[in-house]
A and B are shown apart, each in its own frame.
Chain A
Amino acid sequence: MSLLEVQNLRVDFGQSTVVDDVSFSIAPGEKFALVGESGSGKTVTALSVLRLNQYARYGGRILFEGSDLLQKPEPAMRSVRGKDVAMIFQEPMTALNPLFTIGNQIAEVLMLHEGVSAKEAAQRAVALLDKTGIPEPARRALAFPHQLSGGQRQRAMIAMALACRPKLLIADEPTTALDVTIQVQILELLNQLQREENMAVLMITHDLNLVRHFADRVGVMEKGKLIETASTRDLFAQPREPYTRKLLGSRPQRVVDTVDQGAPALLTAERVRCTFSIPRGWFKKTEFVAVDAVDVQLKAHETLGIVGESGSGKSTLGMALLRLSAAQVQGKIAFLGKPISEMSSTALRPMRARMQVVFQDPFASLSPRRTIEQIVGEGLALHQPQLGREKIREAVANALAEVGLVPQMMSRYPHEFSGGQRQRIAIARTLVLKPELILLDEPTSALDVSVQQQVLLLLAELQRKYGMAYLFISHDLAVIRAMAHRVMVMKDGKVVESGTTEEVLSRPKQPYTQRLLAAATYSTLSSAVPESEKVGLT
């Protein structure tokens, strides 16, 4: 008998149907993954199991060990939540209460569901933390969420979820907010705990690579419908549905031309050092070095990939190179032969047209109260005011056509566009100025995989056509592999390794790069990994 059986589930919010006729089942001890792009209804489906959606109307049946969860009264439901079915969330920082210690929060679950004494609960909380591999669990139990690292917080969340030995664990994108190397550790932990406790796992994710190495069976969701369910092996070997094939095929592929070796240097930077001063008390200050002694050389028409985990200083470096950083920047930076590190910000303003930025989050990078025409045309109106309104309009239309949008969209506002379209608008905004250099700060990490590939193709095509250089910042090695000519790997503000993409990503010399690469493909996840290497990871 299956542990969880979802039959013809339908979830409505007001007028819109978010989940429509979804049926699947999970056997005890099975790892089932729901994949899909954002808005496909996978999270809503998972939350329905615990009936945690607000203002939702449900249809169909959700049988957990034979009883329908959708028919249970609310008090009975509360004893299911956390006891039989537990959940871990994407962002552990917001899922944990910042005002209680993590030991306290784990103990609360135990006291609530098992009625144990506070003292015993505290002891068991420490034991649970120990089990999730947090070093010094007794001390960590007294720590507040903000005192832990992202990976440790997620471990604490897992400890909390496992407190009552649930039969089913729902994991909603549990690793998305974490760095790649930490992601692998968390997945390994989940794997190990799942085997030990023999609990079933319902994994919600958009990451196909992760699914491949983690799940036993996979369900693919598209626009609220479950279109395909198969064992992981079958799904990846012979996907049935065209949408699944599209998802599988949308991993970044290399699309760039080789660059001329004799091309002139566009941007050179020597010994760039960025520091932030952090006030300590009233008068003291400490210095935090975000980027330390980094040399950068970028030729015309070239793409330099900067890879690193969060906090490695890659974005700070990128912004510093364009003189947009809030940090104190030392070192020499020359753009087109001019020493921009020495120029005043007023003197620099005319140069801004030639170096542009595309940001990570297309929802934050377009001012919501301006039309697309105003957004894209703003730079032209500033830098080439002699053009006049008609000419600027024309240039905006051309730029929009260039990025695959229709000029008729000019009078619309950003909120009417999807993430991918917004990113195209952001690219059009830089393109209209015909810059020599574009800084791409994680331009695709907020996008769905299929859209990601389209944007990468567009960027490559534009580079071929107009020959600008890209500074491509990303944490995603697959994207860097697809786009960059040369790669710089950063860690803690320093460059660990640099060279051509081929050299660095195929034959990495440094252990850190090797570890990044291994983590990115989840290759260490399979049980065949020797124990010695696993230790190296944790």
Chain B
Amino acid sequence: MNTVTPASAATAPAAAPGAAAAPSAVSISPGRRVWLRFKQDRRGYWSLIIFSVLFAISLVAEIVSNDKPLAVGYNGKILFPIVQTYSEKVFGGDFDSPADYLDPFIQEQFARDGNWAIYPLNRYRYDTLNYFAKSPNPAPPSADNWLGTDDRGRDVFARLLYGFRVSVLFGLALTITGVILGLITGAIQGYFAGRVDLFFQRFMEIWGSMPELYLLIIFASIFEPGIGLLLILLSLFGWMGLSDYVRADFLRNRNLEYVQAARALGLSNGQIIWRHVLPNSMTPVVTFLPFRMSAAILALTSLDFLGLGVPPSTPSLGELLAQGKNNLDAWWIATSTFVVLTMMLLLLTNIGDALRNALDVRRQA
């Protein structure tokens, strides 16, 4: 601020947080200022980093946790089982079926002179059934299965990893569709107000009074349950909470003088909404983002827990919780799922808290 011009330095407003730190004439945009304030909140900042790392790892879950070796050197040839399916015959077996790399016979082949195999960190996929397991299912944690197995003999760690990915991706998708729908409907109601607002509000009251859970149960019995169907059904109802906030912000902002000024310049309604009102009405959207996401994840988890969610083949945290409930003596299932869920929701809440503080313009950056 002090290096810019004498005119501006003399009358620089006292209430320009962060501006004083700017060394050059190019000033910090409000968006960047928010990021600087966000970084100041150590808890939220580290939560974001940890969450991003975990999410990145889960995105490449196929490499981290899989029942196929990443690469194999067999009789002088280099094979990549992870991308290509090889028959058992390739490795000297008897049948023309896909090789089971947990089979002691095949492992023996790789152990011979000149042959080698690079395995993923965890040797199971979310749906791998180990037919050669040493202990009955559900098996407690061991060197083979770090977090034990569930009652069908599937590795809990693998299921948690894949389940985390499904949950976060589902949460993201539901949040994004909810935000887009909420923004559009809120913007229309708030900007045009009057009769449009009146009728849309009544529509929302009717729409919002539909019993969501029963609809889900009914649809789950009509259609084949799946992630896509859940996403559509939850999106149909999820936008309303946000829509109200956006509407309120639009109602306030449309009367501000800069909107009048834009109108006086001759801008069309679309341009005014897009350039002037929308950027200034984003606060509730951004603030609620992490909270909406954890709500979406919780919704998926609880539906899965009740058996109304994704089909049994999909790895899911809710399904694991249900297994934990059914096998109370297998403490490792419920405990590890509980820890993952709690950690994920805690991280998201921390991020949300920091974001809300960062968007509070009265705080100094």
Contacts and interface: CB of A to CB of B under 8 A. Distances in A.
A426 B258 CA distance: 10
B73 to A, nearest CB: 58
Contacts of A370: 275-276, 279
B7 A404 contact: yes
B265 A379 contact: yes
A418 to B, nearest CB: 4
Interface of B is mostly: helix
Given A364-B258, A378-B265, A379-B265, A39 B276 contact: no
A406 B11 contact: no
B280 A411 contact: no
Interface residues of B, number: 35
A520 interface: no
A364 B256 contact: yes
Given A382-B267, A409-B5, A409-B8, A418 B258 contact: no
Nearest to A371: B29
A195 interface: no
Contacts of B218: none
A322 B263 CA distance: 11
B4 interface: yes
Interface string A352-379: 1101110111001111111100000011
B80 to A, nearest CB: 50
Interface string A398-427: 000000111011011101111111000010
B30 A382 contact: no
A404 B7 CA distance: 9
B30 A324 contact: no
Interface residues of A, number: 46
Nearest to B24: A411
Contact of A367 (B14, B15, B26, B258): B258
A449 to B, nearest CB: 15
Contacts of A367: 258, 262, 275-276, 279-280
A348 B268 CA distance: 11
A426 B266 contact: no
A16 interface: yes
A78 interface: no
A421 B7 CA distance: 9
B27 interface: yes
A364 B257 contact: yes
B204 interface: no
Q: B260, B261, B280 — which one has the most chain A CB atoms within 10 A of its CB?
A: B261
Interface in B241-276: 256-258, 260-268, 271, 275-276
B16 interface: yes
A361 B257 contact: yes
A39 B11 CA distance: 12
Nearest to A326: B255
B339 interface: no
Contacts of B262: 367, 378
A233 interface: no
Contacts of A416: 1, 8, 12-13, 16, 19, 27
B25 interface: yes
Nearest to A322: B264
B19 A357 contact: no
B240 to A, nearest CB: 25
B286 to A, nearest CB: 13
A383 B262 CA distance: 12
Contact of B13 (A353, A406, A415): A415
Contacts of B15: 415
A359 B261 CA distance: 8
B278 to A, nearest CB: 10
A72 interface: no
Nearest to B8: A409
Given A16-B14, A365-B258, A367-B258, A411 B25 contact: yes
A17 B258 CA distance: 33
B8 A417 contact: yes
Interface in B20-65: 25-27, 29-31
A332 B279 CA distance: 37
B257 A365 contact: yes
A371 B275 CA distance: 12
B27 A352 contact: no
Residue with the highest number of chain A CB atoms closer than 10 Å, among B5, B11, B258, B260: B258
Contacts of B257: 359-361, 364-365
A240 interface: no
B258 A352 contact: no
A368 B263 CA distance: 16
Contacts of B260: 324, 357, 359, 365
Interface string B209-247: 000000000000000000000000000000000000000
A349 interface: yes
A159 to B, nearest CB: 34
A324 B263 contact: yes
Contacts of B14: 16, 39
A61 interface: no
A413 B275 CA distance: 15
B280 A365 contact: no
A429 B262 CA distance: 10
Contact of A418 (B11, B27, B261, B276): B11
A66 interface: no
Contact of B5 (A322, A368, A406, A411): A406
A499 interface: no
Nearest to A356: B264
Contacts of B258: 364-367
B266 A406 contact: no
A350 interface: yes
Nearest to B15: A415
A368 B4 contact: no
A353 B266 contact: yes
A87 B14 CA distance: 27
Given A406-B5, A408-B25, A421-B8, A369 B265 contact: no
B49 to A, nearest CB: 27
Contacts of B275: 367, 370, 378
Contacts of A352: 264-266
B261 A429 contact: yes
A369 B275 CA distance: 9
Contact of B266 (A368, A382, A412): A382
A415 B16 contact: yes
B59 to A, nearest CB: 32
Interface string B331-344: 00000000000000
Contact of A413 (B29, B271, B276): B29
Most buried by B among A361, A378, A404, A429: A378
A420 B266 contact: no
Contacts of B256: 364-365
Contacts of A382: 265-267, 271
16 contacts: A351-B266, A352-B265, A359-B260, A359-B261, A364-B258, A370-B279, A382-B265, A411-B27, A415-B30, A416-B12, A416-B19, A417-B13, A418-B13, A421-B8, A421-B11, A429-B265
Given A352-B265, A415-B19, A433-B265, 4 more contacts: A364-B256, A365-B256, A404-B7, A419-B13
Interface of B: 1, 4-5, 7-8, 11-16, 19, 25-27, 29-31, 256-258, 260-268, 271, 275-276, 279-280
Interface of A: 16, 39, 322, 324, 348-353, 355-357, 359-361, 364-371, 378-379, 382-383, 404-406, 408-409, 411-413, 415-421, 426, 429, 433
Leading 8 A-B pairs by shortest Cβ distance: A352-B266, A365-B257, A359-B257, A418-B11, A349-B266, A369-B279, A412-B27, A379-B265
